[in-house]
């Protein structure tokens, strides 16, 4: 378009430069974030990216991302990215800023992350007046994990852990973290804003930019709390959720500048830098020869080397985690060393789920199963994702008629079967997980049936389901015996 054609009123829609041009988290959705429609996180992301652009600091910004629905900041922001453990963003941001004072370090946290597990970190970082900026997205709930109450949950608000509504008598009052931090001497700027309507959104943008700019100017700690809608967990349409911020949330959390010392603040010196990286081993008394003898005394290992490494994968709702739990509980009952590690995506809807299970005859070094000797793939995407990781001579059990050609390996044993259909014939497709487990138990033959029964009784409380699961396990055992196992066959 020539410059003459751009009238005074032309609106140019373009993405902030501080976002990646396309997002490679999901190949098929390179322009979409993972947030639900109407989610406040998306709006806050946009405002933060625009602030970074406007301040011209993209190349020196480090964003410390949280655990929560906004865990994927590093897929979207084209800046330096670090992920912190749950609640630890202020501690990680402190280290970043102190070791790289020329960088602009921004912590991004949800209300569960900041006001519950991370309450100590934010309090002390603010009290130390760390030269960081914190964006605190308060949606009054633990959204990513499905809606448990947070310290910020409103009185009367229902959550999965306060099904009758939060009560002051049992859960205490909503925690006003920003007011609390504003009582400290060190912070320079703390403001609470909302996303309840367009006017508020414009103010939220100004506040976020200001909080980042304070750091550019060398002032101390700044925090912006954003009251943010979560339509999915609040179970409201997006527009209603936005109104709820305005009509309800703000009654408990009034919008206000809670502390502003930017006028009187003189740029404070940064805290003294810590020791140089190369001096740390010396300071800790660790020398090149390694740890003193005795610390690394070899663990006595039993001669028998059982090491069953199982990866179970499928859609949420297919009983992937329960399958793994039954296996692990049964192993425990049988006196083995066991570990069970669930892993599920942050999407609330249509997520995938998988778990790592280890059963061993000696102490387990890591619960991670990177190279399984058994893969239970309950759907095709899981097969495609994990088939290549299976150890040669290992097993793939696949819930499908045949293995797709591209996933066909000659060096592993394969049992492909319509497990869901078999389960359906038994009375409920949801016991496909137990049919697969039955087949695995027959293959691995390391667990006595009594241990499996004991595990089922402990984990599945309903007697009807226990009986159905037992039938499914037995059918799975038969299936293995009847089936044609491709490639390196049994025997």
Ligand X SMILES: Cc1ncc(C[n+]2csc(CCOP(=O)(O)OP(=O)(O)O)c2C)c(N)n1
- The answer to whether 364 and 337 have CB atoms below 8 angstroms apart is yes
User: What whole-number distance in Å separates Cα of residue 41 and Cα of residue 70?
Assistant: 7
- Work out whether 110 is an interface residue with Mg ion (CB under 5 A): yes
- Work out whether 67 is an interface residue with ligand X (CB under 6 A): yes
- Work out whether 36 is an interface residue with ligand SF4 (CB under 6 A): yes
- Work out whether 379 is an interface residue with ligand SF4 (CB under 6 A): no
Those residues whose C-beta lies under 8 Å from the C-beta of residue 202, and which sit 6 or more positions away, are none
Which part of the chain contacts Mg ion (CB under 5 A), choosing from 17-25, 27-35, 101-109, 139-147? 139-147
- Work out whether 40 is an interface residue with Mg ion (CB under 5 A): no
- Work out whether 83 is an interface residue with ligand X (CB under 6 A): no
Q: Which residue among 38, 42, 65, 68 contacts ligand X (CB under 6 A)?
A: 68
- Work out whether 72 is an interface residue with ligand X (CB under 6 A): no
In DSSP notation, 281-314 reads: HHHTT-BTTBSPTTTTPPPP--S---EEEEEEEE
User: What whole-number distance in Å separates Cα of residue 388 and Cα of residue 469?
Assistant: 30
Q: Which residues pair with 223 in a beta bridge?
A: 134, 190
- Record the tokens describing residue 146, joined without a space: 């499905």
Give whichever of 41 and 475 is closer to ligand SF4, judged by the CB atom.
Answer: 41
113's contact among ligand X, Mg ion, ligand SF4, none, with CB below 5 to 8 A by partner kind, is ligand X
Of 270, 222, 215, 214, which Cα lies nearest the Cα of 99? 270
- Using DSSP, state whether 157 is helix, strand or coil: coil
Q: Which residue among 109, 215, 232, 379 contacts ligand SF4 (CB under 6 A)?
A: 232
- Work out whether 110 is an interface residue with ligand X (CB under 6 A): yes
Q: Quick one: DSSP state of residue 465?
A: H
Burial of 325 (0-12, 13-18, 19+ CB in 10 A): buried
- Work out whether 86 is an interface residue with ligand X (CB under 6 A): yes
- The answer to whether 343 and 370 have CB atoms below 8 angstroms apart is no
Q: Which helix (H) or strand (E) holds 340?
A: strand 337-344
- Work out whether 143 is an interface residue with ligand SF4 (CB under 6 A): yes
Express the helix, strand and coil content of the chain in percent, nearest 5 each: 40, 20, 45
Site for ligand SF4 in 48-77 (CB under 6 A): 69
Phi and psi, residue 135, nearest 5°: -105, 115
Give whichever of 61 and 143 is closer to Mg ion, judged by the CB atom.
Answer: 143
Alpha helices in 334-411 (DSSP H): 380-386
Q: From the centroid of its chain, how far is CA 274?
A: 31
Minimum CB separation from ligand X for residue 139, in Å?
5
Minimum CB separation from ligand X for residue 137, in Å?
6
Q: Which residue among 151, 174, 231, 331 contacts ligand SF4 (CB under 6 A)?
A: 231
- Record the tokens describing residue 361, joined without a space: 């005859």
- Work out whether 41 is an interface residue with ligand SF4 (CB under 6 A): yes
Which part of the chain contacts ligand SF4 (CB under 6 A), choosing from 35-43, 44-52, 117-125, 432-440? 35-43
Residues in contact with ligand SF4, shown as a per-residue x/- string from 324 to 353 under the rule CB under 6 A:
------------------------x-----
- Record the tokens describing residue 221, joined without a space: 């700690």
- The answer to whether 219 and 188 have CB atoms below 8 angstroms apart is yes
- Work out whether 111 is an interface residue with Mg ion (CB under 5 A): yes
- Work out whether 249 is an interface residue with ligand SF4 (CB under 6 A): no
Give whichever of 212 and 230 is closer to ligand SF4, judged by the CB atom.
Answer: 230
- Beta carbons within 10 angstroms of residue 252's beta carbon: 16
- Work out whether 262 is an interface residue with ligand X (CB under 6 A): no
Minimum CB separation from ligand SF4 for residue 230, in Å?
3
Contacts with Mg ion, residue ranges (CB under 5 A): 110-112, 139, 143
Contacts with ligand SF4, residue ranges (CB under 6 A): 35-36, 39, 41, 69, 139, 143-144, 230-233, 348
Contacts with ligand X, residue ranges (CB under 6 A): 67-70, 86, 110-113, 117, 139, 141-145, 150
């Amino acid at each position: 378009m020539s410059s003459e054609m751009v009238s005074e009123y032309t609106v140019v829609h373009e993405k902030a430069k501080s976002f990646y041009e396309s997002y490679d988290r999901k190949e098929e959705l390179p322009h979409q974030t993972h947030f639900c429609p109407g989610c406040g996180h998306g709006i806050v992301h946009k405002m933060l990216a625009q602030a970074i652009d406007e301040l011209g600091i993209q190349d020196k910004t480090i964003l410390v991302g949280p655990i929560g629905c906004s865990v994927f900041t590093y897929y979207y922001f084209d800046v330096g990215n670090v992920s912190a453990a749950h609640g630890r963003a202020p501690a990680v941001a402190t280290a970043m800023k102190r070791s790289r004072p020329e960088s602009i370090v921004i912590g991004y946290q949800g209300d569960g992350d900041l006001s519950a597990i991370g309450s100590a970190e934010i309090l002390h970082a603010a009290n130390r007046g760390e030269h960081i900026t914190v964006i605190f997205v308060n949606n009054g709930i633990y959204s990513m994990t499905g809606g448990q109450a947070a310290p910020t949950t409103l009185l009367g608000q229902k959550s999965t852990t306060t099904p009758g509504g939060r009560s002051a008598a049992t859960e205490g009052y909503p925690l006003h973290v920003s007011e609390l931090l504003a009582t400290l001497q060190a912070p320079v700027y703390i403001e609470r804003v909302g996303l309840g309507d367009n006017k508020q959104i414009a103010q939220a943008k100004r506040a976020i930019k200001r909080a980042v700019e304070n750091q550019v100017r060398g002032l101390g700690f700044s925090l912006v709390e954003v009251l943010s809608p979560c339509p999915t967990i609040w179970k409201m349409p997006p527009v209603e959720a936005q109104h709820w911020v305005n009509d309800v949330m703000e009654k408990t959390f009034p919008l206000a500048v809670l502390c502003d010392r930017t006028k009187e603040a003189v740029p404070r010196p940064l805290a003294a830098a810590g020791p140089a990286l190369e001096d740390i081993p010396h300071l800790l008394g660790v020398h090149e020869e390694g740890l003193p003898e005795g610390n690394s005394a070899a663990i006595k290992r039993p001669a028998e080397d059982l090491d069953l490494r199982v990866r179970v994968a499928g859609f949420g709702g297919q009983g992937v985690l329960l399958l793994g739990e039954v296996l692990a509980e049964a192993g425990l009952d049988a006196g083995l060393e066991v570990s069970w590690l669930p892993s599920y995506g942050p999407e609330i809807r249509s997520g995938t789920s998988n778990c790592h299970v280890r059963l061993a005859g000696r102490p387990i070094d890591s619960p991670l199963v990177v190279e399984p000797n058994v893969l239970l793939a309950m759907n095709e995407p899981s097969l495609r994702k994990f088939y290549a990781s299976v150890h040669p001579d290992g097993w793939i059990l696949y819930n499908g008629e045949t293995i797709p050609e591209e996933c066909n390996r000659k060096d592993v044993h394969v049992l492909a079967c319509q497990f869901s259909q078999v389960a359906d014939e038994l009375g409920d497709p949801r016991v496909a997980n137990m049919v697969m487990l039955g087949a695995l138990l027959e293959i691995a033959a390391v667990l006595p049936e009594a241990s499996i029964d004991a595990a089922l009784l402990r984990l599945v409380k309903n007697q009807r389901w226990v009986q159905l699961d037992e039938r499914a396990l037995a059918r799975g055992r038969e299936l293995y015996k009847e089936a044609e196992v491709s490639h390196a066959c049994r025997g």
